[in-house]
Structures are given as structure tokens and as C-alpha cells.
């Protein structure tokens, strides 16, 4: 069982999922930086790239979005088997789209880093229990729903509710897991809502100019009721009376079960202070994560992949060294799965557990790791231990990580994570003075640098500075500039 806390302000909505008193997931949405996934746009083809079988589409954003041939909806054969049993090759993208063409497209992946949004022409509109696929006629059922018999029964019910295209029905639907216990009237209401939404999208597509937003997915607070709340949710608390009223109205119409769990938090202390969530966010941005046993994790996030290193630290509680390593790795498996959810780390992830000699220990740790990852809403794939003793895994990247949303690269180190030592900068300065002394003939060289560099030149490097001054036969003066960062300096010719 878990609780959901919603901290709302006009500029930002933050959601924390609490289980057993600990934060398991953090979701954050800023009004000016709302994610684009689910948004439907009227796009214009800017460029077709046959070599990459893709196209760049202008949807009115800063960067052109990306459409791959695999994400193009076609009414004819695309992939599959032909009459003769051979694979039918996909129709090349240059035969399906052309520059200047307008397309109704949907964002399936947010822009990340330097990459533009990824698009699909297969439009889907999410409802409370159903996902509507207006260009298809297929009825899909979530694999998490009951037995094959239960799924077939639901499919039969849905086909009757959807109706035939010639009778004004049709369209494809996917039943979400929360549709399992739904009545025909609830499913019918969802179908009507989704068809109405699609009708509005089509109407805007013929009246709006290219680059227009035709449909926007629900905000984070509404998605809590639609997507995050489950039978395991005990209470949903929100700290804004205005948003509570809006959510109550939305929930009563679309998610009555979730709406019944909605509470307005009126406490004096900020809602996120109840479970120390502000401190948890600060820890989720740190490189080091301490384990209760005394061990710790080191998490490094790079452009290509994320590495997680497990260390025993001060843990010496077990009877022998093998048991110490085993118990640290077991605790780390649980902590890593939680950190992946908290930080929303995606892409390739390499975990360096402490080397284990016994094979049964390796199997137990891997089994525990997979068990903890199974709780993740986001798709994960885990390989076994490699020859180097590393665990390779992937976690689907659907939005920016917490660190990328809340932080930016350091202006001093430019994202390197380290800066030159004061001594290295001193030697750079001495070389630069020598270089300029060969070209110019000033009365004096004045060095402007950070306080730590000036201090070292006056103390430990004073002899080298004096020797250089004697060699070039010019005085060298020093000036500490608080505004300069540790690597910055300037040499002024007086």
C-alpha cells in the first residue's frame, strides 16, 4: 500500500509516491517546461533523409522533430508476411512523405539533450480505461488483465460497444489494466469521450496553420488520478484547495475510484516536509548514496550511459568477508532499483556489484535485483553478469532524468566534474608570461587570477615566479580577483 502526495504551485507540480514511509518515485512538471509526449501537432515536413529512412518535421518547436519510417502509419502492408510467405519490405519513407507536406503527428518521445522530439503518425488518445487508435480497427487487451478467457470476453464486449464503421462506430481501442472490472456504461462513456476528443483534433487540423498544437495530454495532477493511482493507493493528498476542487471534478467524471481517495491537505507544515521529501530530492541529486549497512553507491550519469559502483565502505557486520560482500550487494540491489525510479535514470546502465566468488551469491543478487526492478512502471531489461563481473541493463528513457530537470552543468568545469589545481593554473600563467615576453616589451606584467592561485604564486611557487621575473628582466605583480573562477586568469601588459 502507498500514499501519493501532490505539492502544487502555479509554476510547478511535484508528486511523490510514499511506501513504508520512504519515497519510491518522484514526478515533476514545470508549467513552462511541460513534457510533450502525447501532444498532437499539425507538422510540416522540413527535410526527408532517405539514407536514414527518416524525416525532420517542423511542429513549431525550437528544434525540428524526428519521424522514422517505422513510426509512419500506413493502411497498406508495412511489415509482415506476403502471400508467398516472404517478408514484405517496408515502403521507403521518400515514397510516403515529401518536403512541404503537412502531417498530423504525435510526440512519442520528449526532446532530450540535443535530440529533437520523436514523432509518430499513428495517433493515440488516452482515456481513463481505454487508449483510442482512430486510424485502426483493432481491439487490444493488456496482458496484465486476467486469463485468456477473461481477455476474450472483454474483447467481445468491446466489439459490441465500439460498433461498426458504417454505423458511425469503428476505430481501434486498447484496454488498460483498470478496464478489467469496468461496466459497459463506463466503457461506453470512455469511448464517447475519446471519439469526441478525436473529432476536435480533426476539426483543428483543417482550420489551424502548420506548427499548431492540436491536442495536449493531461497535466501531471490529472495524470496522477488517471495513471498513477491504483488499488494499492490508500490516499491522494494535495495541498491546494483550488486544484483539489478541479481534480475532484475531473476525478468524479473520469476516475471515480481514484477521486474517492483524494484529500485536501490543510496542515501547517508543507506537505513535502511530512516525509522529508525535500531532503530526499537533495540526496537524489548527489553522486554518493549511503546504504544502511555502511556500504555506499557511486552513481555517475554521462551522455552515453549511467554507471553505478557498489562499495562495502565501513560494513564489517558479517561473519566473513564473502558474507559481507553478499549482504552489501543484496542491500545495493534494492537501493539501486529505488534510485533508478527516484532519479528517473534511463538508457544503458552498468552496475558494478562487488566481486562475488560464490556462484550462488551471484544468482541470489541478480534474482533480488530483477525482483526489485519488477516494481518499476518503466520497462527494464537486465542481462546476467558479464565476464568482467558487471551487470548490464537498460531502462526505457521516456523523459529527462531528475538531475537534468533540476540542474545544469557547472559553469566553471563545463560538466567535466573537476577543475585544474591551483598549481596547474600557476604553471599555465608562468608559461603564458614567458610566451608574451618574447613578443612584447612592457614595463611590467600584471597577473589577475583567483585568490587561491595568487596565494600559491606568493607562497609555494614564489621562487619560480622570482626566477621567471629575473629571466625576462621585467617585474611581475599579482592581483586577486574574486569574480574569476579557479581556472580563469588574465595577464595585463603595463
In-domain check, residue 186: no
Beta strand 12-19 pairing with 2-9: antiparallel
CA atoms of 343 and 345, how far apart (whole Å):
5
Three-state SS string over 440-479 comes to CCCCCEEEEECHHHHHHHHCCCHHHHHHHHHHHCCCEEEE
Query: Among candidates 174, 210, 214, which has minimal Cα distance to 191?
Result: 174
- Is 304 found in the same domain as 237? no
pTM exceeds 0.85, yes or no? no
Residues of the chain with pLDDT under 50: 76-85
- Is 349 found in the same domain as 381? yes
- Is 480 found in the same domain as 439? yes
- Is 355 found in the same domain as 313? yes
What per-residue confidence (pLDDT) applies to 83? 41
Residues with Cβ within 8 Å of 56's Cβ and at least 6 positions away in sequence, in order, are 45, 46, 47, 49, 64, 65, 66, 67, 116
- Is 273 found in the same domain as 371? no
What per-residue confidence (pLDDT) applies to 81? 39
- Is 329 found in the same domain as 358? yes
In-domain check, residue 295: yes
Residue 15: give its domain's CATH number: 3.30.420.60
For 111, 180, 219, 250, 481, the CA distances from 28, given in Å and listed in that order, are 16, 29, 11, 20, 39
> Domain tally for the chain?
3
Which residues constitute the domain of residue 224? 2-34+219-277
- Is 273 found in the same domain as 244? yes
Residues with Cβ within 8 Å of 458's Cβ and at least 6 positions away in sequence, in order, are 478
Residue 472: give its domain's CATH number: 3.40.1260.20
| Predicted confidence (pLDDT) per residue in 333-366, tens digit | 999 999 999 999 999 999 999 999 889 999 999 9
What per-residue confidence (pLDDT) applies to 183? 83
What per-residue confidence (pLDDT) applies to 243? 94
What per-residue confidence (pLDDT) applies to 228? 86
CA atoms of 120 and 37, how far apart (whole Å):
11
| Predicted confidence (pLDDT) per residue in 51-94, tens digit | 999 999 999 988 899 999 999 987 544 444 344 445 566 789 99
In-domain check, residue 71: no
What per-residue confidence (pLDDT) applies to 78? 41
What per-residue confidence (pLDDT) applies to 230? 81
CA atoms of 230 and 225, how far apart (whole Å):
9
- Is 335 found in the same domain as 303? yes
Amino acid at each position: 500500500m502507498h500514499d501519493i502526495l501532490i505539492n502544487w504551485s502555479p509554476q510547478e507540480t511535484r508528486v511523490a509516491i510514499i511506501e513504508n514511509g520512504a519515497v519510491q518515485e518522484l514526478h515533476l512538471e514545470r508549467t513552462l517546461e511541460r513534457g510533450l509526449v502525447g501532444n498532437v501537432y499539425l507538422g510540416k515536413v522540413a527535410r526527408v533523409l532517405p539514407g536514414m529512412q527518416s524525416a525532420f518535421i517542423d511542429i513549431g518547436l525550437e528544434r525540428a522533430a524526428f519521424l522514422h519510417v517505422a513510426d509512419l502509419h500506413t493502411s497498406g502492408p508495412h511489415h509482415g508476411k506476403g502471400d508467398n510467405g516472404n517478408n514484405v519490405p517496408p515502403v521507403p519513407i521518400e515514397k510516403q512523405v515529401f518536403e512541404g507536406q503537412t502531417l498530423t503527428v504525435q510526440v512519442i518521445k520528449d526532446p532530450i539533450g540535443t535530440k529533437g522530439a520523436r514523432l509518430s503518425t499513428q495517433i493515440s488518445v488516452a482515456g481513463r480505461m481505454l487508449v483510442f487508435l482512430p486510424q485502426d480497427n483493432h481491439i487490444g487487451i493488456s496482458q496484465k488483465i486476467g486469463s485468456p478467457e477473461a481477455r476474450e470476453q472483454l474483447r467481445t464486449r468491446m466489439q459490441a460497444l465500439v460498433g461498426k464503421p458504417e454505423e458511425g462506430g469503428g476505430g481501434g481501442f486498447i484496454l488498460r489494466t483498470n478496464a478489467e472490472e469496468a461496466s459497459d456504461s463506463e466503457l461506453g462513456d470512455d469511448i464517447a469521450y475519446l471519439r469526441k476528443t478525436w473529432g476536435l483534433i480533426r476539426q483543428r487540423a483543417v482550420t489551424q496553420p502548420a506548427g499548431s498544437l492540436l491536442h495536449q495530454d493531461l497535466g501531471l495532477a490529472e495524470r496522477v488520478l488517471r495513471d498513477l493511482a491504483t488499488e494499492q493507493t490508500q490516499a491522494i493528498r494535495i495541498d491546494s484547495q483550488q486544484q483539489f476542487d478541479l481534480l475532484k471534478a475531473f476525478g468524479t467524471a473520469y476516475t471515480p475510484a481514484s477521486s474517492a481517495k483524494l484529500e485536501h491537505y490543510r496542515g501547517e507544515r508543507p506537505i513535502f516536509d511530512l516525509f522529508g521529501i525535500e531532503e530526499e530530492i537533495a540526496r537524489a541529486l548527489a553522486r554518493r548514496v549511503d546504504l544502511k549497512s555502511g556500504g555506499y553507491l557511486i552513481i555517475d550519469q554521462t551522455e552515453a550511459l549511467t554507471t553505478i559502483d557498489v562499495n562495502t565502505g565501513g560494513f564489517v557486520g558479517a561473519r566473513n568477508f564473502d558474507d559481507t560482500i553478499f549482504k552489501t550487494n543484496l542491500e545495493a540491489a534494492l537501493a539501486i532499483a529505488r534510485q533508478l525510479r527516484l532519479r528517473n535514470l534511463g538508457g544503458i546502465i552498468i552496475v558494478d556489484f562487488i566481486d562475488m566468488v560464490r556462484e550462488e551469491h551471484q544468482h541470489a543478487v541478480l534474482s533480488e535485483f530483477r525482483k526489485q526492478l519488477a516494481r518499476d512502471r518503466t520497462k527494464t531489461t537486465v542481462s546476467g553478469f558479464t565476464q568482467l563481473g558487471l551487470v548490464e541493463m537498460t531502462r526505457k528513457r521516456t523523459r529527462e532524468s531528475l538531475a537534468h530537470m533540476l540542474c545544469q552543468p557547472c559553469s566553471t568545469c563545463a560538466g567535466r566534474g573537476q577543475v585544474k589545481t591551483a598549481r596547474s593554473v600557476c604553471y599555465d600563467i608562468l608559461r603564458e608570461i614567458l610566451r608574451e615576453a618574447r613578443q612584447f616589451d612592457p614595463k611590467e606584467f600584471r597577473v589577475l587570477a583567483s585568490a587561491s592561485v595568487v596565494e600559491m604564486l606568493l607562497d609555494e611557487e614564489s621562487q619560480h615566479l622570482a626566477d621567471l621575473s629575473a629571466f625576462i628582466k621585467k617585474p611581475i605583480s599579482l592581483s586577486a580577483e574574486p569574480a574569476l573562477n579557479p581556472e580563469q586568469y588574465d595577464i595585463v601588459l603595463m
